[in-house]
Structure 1
Amino acid sequence: MRIVATKQTTVDDIVEQAKGAGQVAAKKMFGEYGLYCDGKLVALVCDETLFAKPTEAGRTYLGSVTEVSPYPSAKPYFLVAGERWDDADWLAELIKASAAALPAPTRKRSSERSNKSIS
């Protein structure tokens, strides 16, 4: 059950605050947003709330964490308090630490074509 749809301005603000982490971008996913740093999915923005992908580096950086599912049936992510978004250096460090702890994104392979001839 969706509480409130995330506004584009919220996502734009988060991306702007986190830009010190590297190449930060947001992509619309399933009606909400995925936050990427250097091609790695590092967080979700759902219901006007920021959820960082759980990593040991993120846990260490945050100290005390609250784990919450960003949407029904999702694995828990780290809840990032809204007042922390205004601290660009703090947010960029969280995003950078999370991205560094995640594996490089895998490239999607194009589907292999069958060499069957049509008779």
Structure 2
Amino acid sequence: MPSSEKFRDYVLAQFKGELRVTPRKMMGEYIFYADGKIFGGIYDDRLLVKPVAAAKAMLPNAKLQLPYDGAKPMLRVTAEQIADNGLLVRLLNAMLPELPAVKKK
């Protein structure tokens, strides 16, 4: 089931423009980029982020979930955590140094 634009817009609004977060629609889902790095996305109306050390430390109770069959597991950000836009901004700031740049084709 594709993710809704309404949920995508809600999640993006939680970042309040403090960081340059951009979505890219891909097969009905949304991949999220910041500073040219993929940090997560929306899959089946769930916000999932890459399980880097900083994300694991800030979301210690987060469950690993598959964004789609055959993918690597990612950490699920709960509805309560999404509503805390300060947390999302801190999470992204902590994650960015650990994420690789997107490879050029």
Identity fraction in percent? 32
Aligned mate of 1:67, from 40, 46, 64: 64
The equivalent residue for 2:40 is 43
The equivalent residue for 2:21 is 24
SS at match of 2:2: coil
Correspondence 1:1-119 to 2 at 5 A: 4-18=1-15, 19-20=17-18, 22-108=19-105
**Number of paired residues?**
104
- The 8 Å contact of residues 37 and 96 in structure 1, kept in 2 or not, is answered as no
Instruction: Give the Cα–Cα distance (whole angstroms) in 1 for the partners of residues 83 and 98 of structure 2.
Output: 23
**Structure 1 residues not aligned, in runs of 5+:** 109-119
SS at match of 1:71: coil
1:13-32 deviation per Cα after TM superposition (whole angstroms, max 9, x unaligned): 21121232x21010101221
**Residue 99 (structure 1) shift:** 1.9
RMSD over aligned CA atoms reads: 1.3
1:75-116 deviation per Cα after TM superposition (whole angstroms, max 9, x unaligned): 1000111121111111111122222210222322xxxxxxxx
Letter in 1 for 2:31: G
The ranges of structure 1 where at least 4 consecutive aligned residues each deviate by more than 2 angstroms after the TM superposition are 104-108
1:6-60 deviation per Cα after TM superposition (whole angstroms, max 9, x unaligned): 111211121121232x210101012211011111110120111111111011111
Instruction: Give the Cα–Cα distance (whole angstroms) in 2 for the partners of residues 71 and 40 of structure 1.
Output: 20
Instruction: Calculate the TM-score normalised by the size of structure 2.
Output: 0.89
Instruction: Calculate the TM-score normalised by the size of structure 1.
Output: 0.80
**Structure 2 residues not aligned, in runs of 5+:** none
- Relative to structure 2, which stretch is displaced further, 72-81 or 9-18? 9-18
**Residue 5 (structure 1) shift:** 2.3
